[in-house]
Structure 1
Amino acid sequence: MRNNNKATAAILTTSLLLAACGGGGGDDGGDDVGGTPPPVGSALNAGAGSPTGTEGSCSATTAGVNWDALMTEICPKLSDYNLFVDATDPTAGPTRGGVPYDLSTALFSDYTSKYRFIFVPEGETVSYNASEVLDFPVGTVITKTFALPVNTAMRDGEELVIETRLLIHRTDGWFALPYYWSSDSDATLAIAGKRLTGLTTINNQGQQIAFDYAVPKAADCSSCHSIVPDLAGSGDEREQIFLPIGPKARYLNNDHSYADGTVYNQLQYWSEGELLTGLPLNLQGVEQAPVFNDQVPVDALSANELNDAARAYLDINCAHCHRANLTLPADYAGPAGSSGVQLEYNRIYADSPGKFGVCKEPIAGGKDGYPYDVIPGNPDDSYLLFRMTTLDSRHKMPELARNTAHLEGTRLIRSWIDQLPSASCSPAP
């Protein structure tokens, strides 16, 4: 198994940020945990250089990020884009201009840890959006690296780096590329995907889990990342819209521990570093999703905390498909929006319990013994929970991104269904 040298990576990242901020060891507030804000200016999106070799070539020699190749080429190796100082380690040390981020509640992907970075060209900024994904300018690159820990209770330990996915915002829209770590030294393009068999990890309960892992095909990305026009009776021929999923304000509105020791709210850090524009001055007015991960004790959550955590979990894991007509462009919906289950975080449960599956007969699929998507007080007979736990390809949800059940996540949703307000579901015909 591959073992990342995270200590070295952290040092690289620290020196990188200091260089980007125009100094080294000066009075930058880096030792004040949660205190002094980071330096403002163009630090966060400092120019990552321009190719000095053949323009648009994957083999160009660059002084920083190979923007030309990112905007025009499908390169065979991840290192061709020069996104990381140490090309063998995509978990830390981004090339100058790269900013790490994390999400307060994240999409489950077979217990892997995720390492996320955003690169924005010099002089460009990200625009704030209250409900939808932030508005990233053309030229933006989002990287996400998946690594499977030996033990999920010790995510700083040994891990197997599996893949790095790129979302590239080109002039004609977002473009997705998967790279598989075929060796310790580099990741190679996996347009047709990749399947790894017999992987194992130990979860927080000490149970060993064995499963196969699938690196998605490039073509699979649109199945989760697209919203589509509602064509019902309209004759509308508009094209689908490809969007990132995770970097919404509500999931970035939490503290992040930066490599220089600074702990700071991510949105505020981006704003004060002149990377993000339009952020409200009062962060209290910015929607904030709760922190939920495998270490959160579900049984210790209050009723309100449980409801909030469950809505965030369903939103980040399901609502990229199960959504419609709430904050989307007019007449657009997620690919599964027409199923009637619509699980956006900012949808109010009390206004429409049926949108959350309560007493709603399954439209897609269905299985004997599960008459409704959600039966309050009865998680064992709720089709939604069954779909989250089964590995049967006909029923499992999400359809992609998992080949094992998320024990901690399903425990959360089980508890949420169990405490939902009572509702008398009419007997199914």
Structure 2
Amino acid sequence: MPTRFPLSVVLSLAGAVALGPLAAQPLSRVPATSLRLPAGPPATTFSTTRAFPSLAFNGPLALVSPPGATRRLFVVEKTGRIWLIPDVTAASPARTLFLDLTSRVATSSDANDERGLLALAFHPNYASNGQFYVWYTLNASTAVGGGLHDRLARFRVSPGDANAADANSEQPLITQRDEAANHNGGEILFGPDGYLYLSLGDEGGGDDTFQNSQRIDRDFFAGIVRLDVDQRAGSLPPNAHPAVHPGTYAVPSDNPFVGATTFNGAAVNPSAVRTEFWATGLRNPWRISFDSATGRLWCADVGQNSREEIDVIVRGGNYGWNYREGAIAGPRGIPPALNPPNGRAGATFIAPIWDYPRAQGQSVTGGFVYRGPLHPALHGHYLFADFVSGRIWSLRPDGDNPVSADRVQLLATDTGISSCGIDPATGDILLADLLEGSIKRLVATPAIGSTPFPAALSATGAFTNVATLAPAPGFVAYEPNVSFWSDHAGKRRWFALADTTSVFGFAADGAWTLPPGAVWVKHFDLELTRGDPATARRIETRFLVKTTTGVYGITYRWNDAQTDATLVPEEGADQTFTILENGSARAQTWRFPSRAECLTCHTPAGGHALTFNTRQLNRDHAWAGGTANIITALAQAGYLNLSSPPASATLPALAPAADLAKSVELRARSYLDVNCAMCHQPGGTAPGWWDARASTPLTLAGIIDGALLDPGGDAANRVITPGDAVHSRLLQRIATSDGSRMPPLATRERDPGAESLLLQWIAALAEPPAPRPASRLINLASRAQAGTGANVLIPGFVIAPGADKPVLIRAVGPGLTQFGVAAGDALAQPALTLLNGPRVLAINTRWNTAANAGAIRAAAVRIGAFALPEGGADSALLVTLPPGPYTAQATGLNNTTGLALVEIYDADSPAAPAPSRLINTAVRAHVGTDANIVISGLVVGDGALKTVLIRAVGPGLAAFDVAGVLAEPVVTLFFGSQSVATNTAWSAAPNAAAIRAAADRVGAFVLATGSRDSALLVTLSSGAYTIQVAGANGSTGVALVEVYEVP
């Protein structure tokens, strides 16, 4: 990750932590040499087998279950029938005919014929409304003529028979003329937002015969559309088109091409735009799926003669067909209109996550991101197949970035796989085999020669006496500040390292780095009489092991004699206990997590070992050598990469709910950090926008009045609504007893303490805050490449009306070397020029030669700026300016180039600041990759919260005839070292309307709806922040980064 330069305050943090005095060492380190756990999970081989040997189908194309179903599986046949297997768990599963459309579907028995009944999707509320949707080809006569058509239609289940559809209930939504029999696309599904997504081919032929792939103003081909089939308030009617059945659906108002007047740089008629499009530039997307954890939309697009591709679909994305095929040039070169020499906005194509040549396969079949319990090695991997070659692969994602070959693994081979599905009972991976007419199951077996897991707890080497839980030498007991809720169980914890040289990488904030081979043990006891420790029974002992690439988890189930524990199967297990509670007996089911479920919580974003971080370990603990802070003891014993332990008072700590000396806000946020943040944070696996980390300022966490992806049927719901528990969706999800309760894994009992704590916090949030004086933007900075000509570094700033403002401006090049920037990369001799419009106000080329060098030095000390080397070639100006706009141009003497940091400080005395203030800064610079991305920073002074609009403009600069713009800027806001907000397309943000209104209020130029420019509207507490601007997928170009104070 590139070095971040928020401002001088942040730049100097590395040396700001006070070190405490060394005390007598309370903990001594010894190696855990008795450990007998493998360094990684045993290798696995995969194969396919018949899932339902007694059932045969005629061209199975899709495997679907309704929302919430645990036994029912529907099988779609290409020829027009939908079969229901009512109970997949039966000893000999049977099938019943659910719907027969053979008389309507146009197809043939030839497996290569791409016509037929292609897809099925159940409405999210199918259990109550009985609605489902199909996509099929038919012969029909419509306003555009007779012949082959594609149809999206809605049906209902029979009122009196849940196992049969009402064939007479068909309501077409789209019936479109299709000039060719191939490339009919073919997937429909509902997204986490409740809208229907439909993937569409390019109409067929070859080389995009009908030229549909780069059009949004003709027909419904070559992309993915997004429809509101419930016609919610705020959605829009579709533009008129012969294929549309009026009144059957609406268009979500945030679809990317709503109101579009251009596409690929060319004008389009807004009334002719197919506003239903969500993404374009696809050839024949054969299966799309949403990741159930992240909401990310995956697509497999069948290639023509060169490449098959896997894409992650984003709002408004153009995937290039037929100018691109996979990651290479397509059959048609990019025409001049799309790639003009003057750099005006044209087509921007998104590269596939993965593509492969025809030598490996000739027809990709999309699958899904596996989140099931049976195959932990595949957890979080995207599974897909090739119909022709028979290869079945797993792909380990790398965010939204294209992956390297080492992240794609061949699992098995079986030709004719037309679709992937999930066993609703077990989470097993199912495969539809079109050629054999069968449903297959992907099964795993341990590879020959791999090291198995120990079969019993006593064989792990973790305890010298399992019956007494006496830990082996090298296992260190510890307790975190706040424990994850575990259904009333008590817990004990240990960690171990097998050697005396591996260390944990300390971080004051965020996750620590973990050495391979580190082991954590967590043991659970459950009181059979609630509140009586004497009735505690040993239930489970879990292990988490750090590997070279991640972690794995296994668990052991204690026997009735309480003498040992046995390894729980890969898929996990359940056990029911009788609990005496308040004088009454009741059943409590305990979940032993599967090995895949372990990875659902122990995420990379969460740091894998969830209790090994500063906020959890900054507490006292009773060691054999005396009581001491855990971090201090670990450092002194040599477990951390520190020469001296940091003083605990300087470090953050979580607060348990029972610590009434701490604020209710800190205690509530500590609960959320421990129980939710492993998924709910930027880069986490949970969809949505809120951030559960306690380190994220509350104003940036998206919690208070935070927007929801799923409002739970009530548009008034928010994540937390101050003073309103009824409309606080977070509390609803924690306090429910149904399958939607959070946290979602390894817990089935409600947490009354957490519910009470959150209720207190919600009530406290309604209390008006104490009045505070207005805060100021006291520092604005930008770090970027200072080039020549059009690529000089040009920050600008605005002083609001009022009194004159003293300002310190610095252009730092050589001074950056003290922060790790190589001397050869830094701008050797920055020249700083201050302008008001075209008028030059001041110039400096070496700060310590300025007439007021002493005042510059004193001002830097007063406002906390890092010291510039006395003999260095950095430049600076200390000037008093009247209100107005200014630019501070940084160039290199003698046309030299390099990395520079330009800082603009409000140099007023904090005790008596002038009534004027800095209200805006902007920098236009070339955005590179790695260390050459643009990094801006700001500091908000003490006082009231400050609302700020941050914009990273690339495509929007084309209107000002700027050449070589950054096609897709990504803006990320950091607080300290942690990412707290990010955006890649401003009008797709949940607060897009507020962003637009704020831009109007501050007088910023208009960004086009649907553009790839990015923006954040945030409210900040006092402190230092960093803004990072990079190009999506490693792209480069010129961008404008703006920061506005929003009144």
Give the TM-score of the pair, scaled to structure 1.
0.71
Unaligned regions of 5+ residues in structure 2, if any? 1-21, 42-450, 769-1047
What is the rounded CA distance, in whole Å, between the counterparts of 1:219 and 1:144 in structure 2? 17
2:513 to 121, 127, 135: 135
Return the letter of the residue paired with 2:700.
S
Task: State the shift of 1:140 in Å.
Answer: 0.8
Written as runs of structure 1 = structure 2, the 5 A alignment for 1:100-179 is 100-123=477-500, 124-150=502-528, 153=531, 155=533, 157-179=534-556
**Residue 344 of structure 1, CA deviation:** 0.6
Residues 96, 280 of structure 1: CA spacing in aligned structure 2 closer, same or farther, 3 A cutoff? closer
Which letter does structure 2 place at the counterpart of 1:323?
Q
Of 267, 274, 286, the residue aligned with 2:638 is 274
Question: Deviation at 1:211?
Answer: 2.3
1:383–1:193 distance in 2 versus 1, CA, 3 Å: same
**CA-CA distance at 1:153 after TM superposition:** 4.6
Alignment of 1:296-335 (within 5 A): 296=658, 301=660, 305-324=663-682, 333-335=683-685
Greater Cα shift, 187-196 or 280-289: 280-289
Q: Residues 199 and 110 from structure 1, CA distance in 2 versus in 1: closer, same or farther, beyond 3 angstroms?
A: farther
Structure 1 position 37, deviation (Å): 3.1
Structure 1 residues 219 and 244 mapped into 2: Cα distance closer, same or farther (>3 Å)? same
Shift of 1:207: 8.9
- Among candidates 256, 259, 279, match of residue 621 of structure 2: 256
1:38 maps to what in 2? 25
Partner residue, 1:410: 755
Q: 2:720 aligns with which of 335, 349, 374?
A: 374
- The one-letter amino acid of 1:248's match is N
Unaligned runs of 5+ residues in structure 1 are 1-34, 50-63, 229-240, 325-332, 424-429
Aligned amino acid, residue 82 of structure 1: G
Residues in 1 aligned to 2:528 and 2:621: alpha-carbon distance in whole angstroms: 24
The equivalent of 2:1001 in structure 1 is none
Q: Which residue of 2 aligns with 1:342?
A: 691
Q: 1:273: how far off? A: 1.4
User: Does the C-alpha gap of structure 1 residues 307 and 154 become closer, same or farther in structure 2, counting only changes over 3 Å?
Assistant: farther
Q: Could you tell me which amino acid in structure 2 is paired with residue 111 of structure 1?
A: H
The 2-side partners of 1:209 and 1:318 are apart by 28
Distance of aligned partners of 1:281 and 1:378 in 2 relative to their CA distance in 1, 3 Å threshold: same
Within 5 Å, give how 1:190-205 maps onto structure 2. Answer: 190=568, 191-200=570-579, 202=581
CA contact (8 A) 1:389 1:410 kept: yes
Q: 1:134 to 1:197 in 2, by over 3 A?
A: same
Aligned with 2:454 (options 72, 75, 96): 75
Provide Cα deviations, 1:231-286, integer angstroms capped at 9, x if missing partner: xxxxxxxxxx971212211111111223x483221111111112222265322222
Provide closer, same or farther for how the CA distance between residues 99 and 306 of structure 1 changes in structure 2, counting only shifts above 3 A: same
Asked if residue 47 in structure 1 is aligned to residue 43 in structure 2, the reply is no
Gap change, CA 1:271 and 1:70, over 3 Å in 2: same
1:288 aligned residue: 653
- Which residue of 696, 705, 715 corresponds with 1:359? 705
- Aligned equivalents of 1:264, 1:411: Cα separation in 2: 32
RMSD: 2.9
Equivalent residue in structure 1 for 2:730, among 375, 384, 387: 384
Aligned-partner residue type, residue 253 of structure 1: N
Q: Is the 8 A contact 1:369 1:381 kept in 2?
A: no
CA distance in 2, matches of 1:396, 1:371: 16
Higher helix share: 1
**Helix, strand or coil at the partner of 2:473:** coil
**Match in the other structure for 1:65:** 35
Offset at 1:39? Answer: 5.2
- Given that residues 26 and 625 in structure 2 are in contact (C-alpha distance below 8 angstroms), is that contact kept between their aligned partners in structure 1? no
Q: Note the C-alpha offset of 1:287.
A: 1.4
Distance 1:414 1:335, change over 3 A: same
In structure 1, what is the Cα distance between the partners aligned to 2:650 and 2:23?
22
Distance, in Å, in 2 between the alignment partners of 1:365 and 1:221 is 28
Q: CA deviation at 1:361?
A: 4.2
Cα distance in 1 between the residues matched to 2:707 and 2:720: 9
Q: Distance in 2 between matches of 1:133 and 1:268?
A: 17
In structure 1, C-alpha distance between the alignment counterparts of 2:599 and 2:37, rounded to whole Å: 23
**Judging changes above 3 Å, is the alpha-carbon distance between structure 1 residues 80 and 256 closer, same or farther for their aligned structure 2 residues?**
same
- Mapped to 2, the partners of 1:39 and 1:377 lie a distance apart of 46
Structure having greater relative contact order (Cα 8 Å, sep ≥ 6):
1
User: Cα 1:415–1:207, aligned 2, differ >3 Å: closer, same or farther?
Assistant: farther
Secondary structure at the counterpart of residue 270 of structure 1: helix
Q: Deviations over 1:331-366 (max 9, x none)?
A: xx1111x401211110111x336x11x323431472
Contact 1:163 1:179 in 2 (8 A): yes
Structure 1 residue 421 displacement after superposition: 4.2
Cα offset for 1:196? 1.4
1:128 alignment partner, SS class: coil
Distance 2:727 2:640 in 1: 45
Aligned to 1:212, the other structure's residue is in SS state: strand
Amino acid at match of 1:352: L
Letter in 2 for 1:418: A
- Where does residue 397 of structure 1 map in the other structure? 742
The answer on whether the counterparts of 2:39 and 2:547 sit within 8 Å (CA) in structure 1 is no
TM-score (normalised: structure 2) = 0.30
Q: CA deviation at 1:144?
A: 0.6
